[in-house]
Structure 1
Amino acid sequence: MDILMLSDVYFPRVNGVSTSIRTFAQSLARMGHSVTLVAPDYGPDSGQEQHDSGEFEIIRLGSRVIFFDPEDRLIRAPELRRIQPQLARRHWDVIHIHTPFRAHGLGVRLAAQTGRPTVETYHTYFEEYIGHYLPWAPAPLLRMAARKLSRVLCHGVDHLIVPTAQMVEVLDRYGIRTPSTVLPTGIDLSEFARGDGARFRAEHGIAADRPTVVTVSRLAVEKNIAFLLQVAKRLLGEFPELMFVIAGEGPDAERLKRLAKENGLERNVRFFGNLDRRTSLLDAYRAGDAFVFASPTETQGLVLIEAMALGVPIVSTAVMGTATVLRGARSAVVSEDNVEAFAGHLATVLRSPQLRAQLSAAGPVDARAWSTEGLMEQVVALYQRLAQAKSLPRPVSADEAEIAG
C-alpha cells in the first residue's frame, strides 16, 4: 500500500506522538508498504533524524516556533499551499493524520481533492492538557473548546484510531460518532533487547548498590513528575542514598529543578535531558531498581511498555491509558494516586531483591502483548477496508437516478 502520514510533530521533538509515528512508519515499511511522512522542519537537527529513518520518506515543511510552546512548531501556510498540489498528484491508498492542527487541515483537503480515505489517530487527551499551555484562560472555557474542537476534527475524517478503550469512552462523552478502532501503538521488541544499567551507573558516578529509580518522560506539568519528587522526598528517611534519575526535557524542567532543590533533593535527583533512544536511554532504564510513572493523562503510556520489555520493575498509577497497559501486568505494582501510598509501594520494591527479580522476569513476557507485529497487521487490515470502501461506486440516490433518466 501507499500510505501518506501527516503530522505537526515528529523527531527531533521527543514525545510519545513522535515515537508512535516512527513505530507505525518503520513497521509498515518493513512489511513492504510505501510510507511518506510530512512533518515540520525543526532546523539542522531534523536532517539527522531523516537520515536515520532510511526506511520511509520524510518531507519536511518550513515552520515557526509557537510562542506559548517553544518546543513545538507550526507549519507555515505557504508551505502547505506549495506541497498540496505535489501530494495530490501522487497515488495514496490512505491518508493517516496524526495531529489536529495544520497537518489535519492538509489531510482533509487532500482527501477531498483525491477521494482517498482519511484515518486519524487520537493521540492526546487535549481536554486535560490545554490548560497547562494557556494558563491565563478560564479552565472551563478551555475544556469546552477542546471538546468542541475534538468533535469538529473527528467528524471531518472517515475513521479514528484510538489507543485505548478509555479514550473511546471519552470521545463517546464528547458526542463523537466517527467510527473508531482501538489500536494501541506497539513497540519493536528487538529494539529493547539491549541496554546496560551497570555502564550507565559507572559513567554517571552512581554506585552499583545505590537504590535508584528512573522515570522517562517529557517534562511537562501534566506528567505529574512533581508528585514523584514528593515520593522521593518521603523515601529519604529509609533510603537516604536514593537516586532518582529523570530522563527527558520539556517546559516544566526549570520548575522541577527548583522543586528538587527546595525539597532538599539536590543529592538525590539528577536530570539527564533527552537521551539517545538506541543507546544511553536503554542504559538509563536498566540502571533503575524500579521505573516510576504517575501521569494521569496518558492515552497509552509507551514508556511503561518499554520498561516492561527491558525487565525493569514498575511502580505506577493506573489512570486512563496506563490502566489498559497495566491491567493484568505481572511486572508492575499499581499504586493509588497519593504520595504516601505510592512511596509505600516503591519502598516495598526497593527493600526486596526477590520481588524485584520477580517483577523483572515478568516484564518481557508482559511486553509481548504490545509487539508491533500483530498490531500492525490490524492497522493494515483497517487501511485496506477503508481504501476498498472508497473505491466502491457511490450509491445513486433516487433524485440522481431520476435526473439521469
Structure 2
Amino acid sequence: MRVLFCSEFYYPSVGGVQEVMRQVAERLVELGHDVTVATSKLANRATLQLNGVSIKEFDVKGNFVSGMLGEVLDYQTYLITSEFDVIMIKAAQQWTFDATWEIIDRIKTPKVFIPCGFSALYNPEYEAYFKLMPAILKQFDHLIFYASKYRDIEFAKKNGITNYSILPNGASEKEFNCLKDLRFRERNKISENSFLYLTVGSFTGTKGHWEVVKAFESLDLQPNEHATLILNGNIPYTSTHDIWRNLKLVFNSNGLFIGIKHLVYILFKKLGVTFKKKSPEEIAKTINLKQSNKKVIISDFPRNELIQAFMNADLFVFASNIEYSPLVLFESAAAGTPFLTVDVGNSLEILEWTGGGFVCESYKNHRNFTNVEIQHLATSMRNLMNDKSALDQKGRQGKIKWQEKFTWDVITKKYEAILMSVCNRK
C-alpha cells in the first residue's frame, strides 16, 4: 500500500500531531507499506528520509482563515497527480487540509481525514469556515476520531457523517519498555526523599504550566516534607507569518485565545513591558528562592531523559486549557506513573480506558477552555502526595491497560486495517 500522510508539521518538529504521525508512519513502513509525509519545510530538517519514511516538503504557511502563503499550488498539484493508494490528512485549521478544499473533487485517491478536535469551533473568526466544513467532510471516504464524545465527532454526527472510526492515541512500546534509571534524580539534583511532580507540554501558554506551578507554590508542606516540580516543554516554532496572524486575531477578536495572549506577553516582555501576572518562570524563581522545602525545575529534556522523567515521577499533573486527546496521559500510564488531570479534551475517557489516574474538579469558560481553581488543584496534589497506596495502585493499573490496548504497535494495526479497507472499497 502506497500511503501519503499530510501534516502541517513533522519530525524534527515537536508536538502531539507530529508524534502520532511519526509513530504510525514508521510502523506502517515496518509492516511493509510505502509511506510519504507531505509537510512544512523546516530549516533544521537534516534528511528527507527518516526510518523508512519519505518526507516531501512544501514551503507553505497559514490556513483558510488567515490566508495561505507559499507553494500552495505545488502542494495541490502534488495531491492531484501523485499516485498513492490512499491519502490521510491530520487536523483541520491548517494548510495541508485547508488547501485541499478548492481541489478536493479533483483528488481521485481515496481520502481519510482526522479532524483532531476542531479547537476553533467556538471562535467567531472561524464561523464561515465551519459552515463550509460539512460539505468538505462528506467528500472524504473515512474519518478517524480519537474520542467518542468531543466537539469534532459531535459536529460530524450532527451533520450526517456516518463513515468514521474511533481510534485512541497511545504511547510507544519501544520507548517505555525500558528500565527505570535510578540515577535520574542524581543527574537532575533531586533529593531521593522529595515527592516528584511532573507536567509536560509546549510552552504555548495553554498547557497548564502556570496553573500547576501556582498550585505547587501554595502547597502546604510540613517542615520535614519536600517536593519537586518539573515543568518540561519546548518553545514552539513561530514564523513571522504566524506572529502577524495571531496579532490580527487578538486585535480583531478581543483576545480569544490564551495562547495568543501568551504570545503577546512574550513579545512585550522582550520590549521591557511588565505585567501583573507572573510567568511560570518568575513563579518558579520565587519558589526556589523563598521556599526551602520546594524546588522547581524548568526543562526541555531530550526524549530519552523525558521518558525517565515520566518513570521517576511520583505524580503527573495535567492542567491544560485546551486539548483533544493528550498523548502525555497515555505516556504517563505507559511509565506506570499515576496522573492527575482536569477535564480537558477526552482526558476523562482516557482515565476510564486506562484506570491510571485521578480527576481534579475544573470548569469550562465561555470559549470552552478548561480552567481550574488553583486551590482545588493544590488540594488534589497535596492529598495524593499522602496516599502512596492509591498512587501505586493507579500506576500499576495504567501500565497494564497500556500494554494491552494502547501501544503504537496495537494501534497502528488498526490504522492499517482502516486504510486498506478504504482502498478496497474504491
TM-score using structure 1 length: 0.80
Structure 1 position 360 matched with structure 2 position 386: no
CA contact (8 A) 1:215 1:293 kept: yes
| Partner residue of 2:279 out of 248, 252, 258 | 258
Separation in 2 of the partners of 1:250 and 1:124?
22
Alignment of 1:305-384 (within 5 A): 305-327=330-352, 329-337=354-362, 338-368=373-403, 369-384=405-420
User: Which one of the candidate residues 157, 182, 207 is aligned to 1:223?
Assistant: 207
Counterparts in 2 of 1:145 and 1:214: CA distance versus 1, 3 Å = farther
1:294 corresponds to which residue?
A: 319
Matching of residues 67-146 of structure 1 within 5 Å = 76-77=69-70, 79-82=71-74, 84-85=76-77, 88-100=80-92, 101-105=94-98, 107=100, 112-127=105-120, 141-142=124-125, 144-145=127-128
C-alpha distance in 1 between matches for 2:388 and 2:355:
16
Query: How many pairs are equivalent?
Result: 369
CA distance in 2, matches of 1:269, 1:153: 47
Matches of 2:227 and 2:129, distance apart in 1: 40
Question: Post-superposition shift, 1:299?
Answer: 1.6
Give 1 or 2: higher helix fraction: 1
Aligned to 1:402: none
How much does 1:140 deviate?
5.6
**Closer, same or farther: CA 145–321 of 1 in aligned 2, 3 Å:** farther
**Alignment check: 8 A CA contact 2:79 2:107 kept:** no
Partner of 2:257: none
Q: Deviations over 1:316-340 (max 9, x none)?
A: 1233311211115332122212333
User: Equivalent residue of 2:184, what SS?
Assistant: helix
Distance 1:80 1:178, change over 3 A: farther
Equivalent in the alignment of 1:11: 11
- Alpha-carbon deviation of 1:85? 4.5
- In structure 2, the partner of 1:46 is 45
What SS does structure 2 have at the residue aligned with 1:249?
coil
| CA drift at 1:270 | 2.1
Residue 163 of structure 1: how far off its partner (Å): 0.6
Q: What does residue 242 of structure 1 align with?
A: 227
The answer to whether the aligner puts 1:193 opposite 2:177 as a matched pair is yes
Aligned to 2:131: 148
Q: Secondary structure at the match of 1:57?
A: strand
Q: Does 1:276 align with 2:268?
A: no
Shift in Å, 1:343: 2.4
SS of the residue corresponding to residue 234 of structure 2 reads coil
Whichever residue aligns with residue 388 of structure 1, its letter is: N
Structure-1 separation of matches of 2:233 and 2:380: 24
Letter in 1 for 2:232: A
For 1:15 and 1:63, the matched residues in 2 are separated by: 19
Q: Distance in 2 between matches of 1:236 and 1:245?
A: 18
| Contact kept in structure 1, 2:181 and 2:308, CA below 8 Å | yes
Q: Secondary structure at the match of 1:366?
A: helix
- Residue pair 2:110, 2:422 contacting (<8 A) in 1 also: yes
Query: How far did residue 350 of structure 1 move?
Result: 1.8
TM superposition shift of 1:83: 5.1
TM-aligned CA distance change 1:141 to 1:122, over 3 Å? same
**CA contact under 8 A between 2:36 and 2:56: conserved in structure 1?**
yes
Whole-angstrom distance in 2 between the partners of 1:161 and 1:10: 19
Does residue 164 of the first structure (1) align with residue 147 of the second (2)? yes
Deviation at 1:162, TM superposition (A): 0.8
1:59 is aligned to 2:59: no
Q: Work out whether residues 94 and 119 of structure 1, in 8 Å CA contact, stay in contact via their aligned partners in 2.
A: yes
Distance 2:132 2:312 in 1: 42
- Of 236-245 and 97-106, deviating more is 236-245
* 1:185, distance to aligned residue in structure 2 (A): 2.6
Summarize the Cα distance change of 1:196–1:157 in structure 2 as closer, same or farther, 3 Å threshold: same
Q: CA deviation at 1:363?
A: 2.6
CA contact (8 A) 2:62 2:95 kept: no
Report the Cα offset of residue 176 of structure 1.
5.9
Unaligned runs of 5+ in 2: 237-261, 270-276, 290-294, 363-372
C-alpha distance in 1, partners of 2:168/2:103? Answer: 26
CA contact (8 A) 2:310 2:332 kept: yes
More off after superposition, 230-239 vs 185-194:
230-239
Unaligned runs of 5+ in 1: 129-138, 391-405
Q: Deviations over 1:269-321 (max 9, x none)?
A: 22212x322x1111221231111112253221111111111111211123331
2:36 partner amino acid: T
Over 3 Å counting, the alpha-carbon distance change for 1:260 and 1:169 in structure 2 is same
Q: CA deviation at 1:201?
A: 2.0
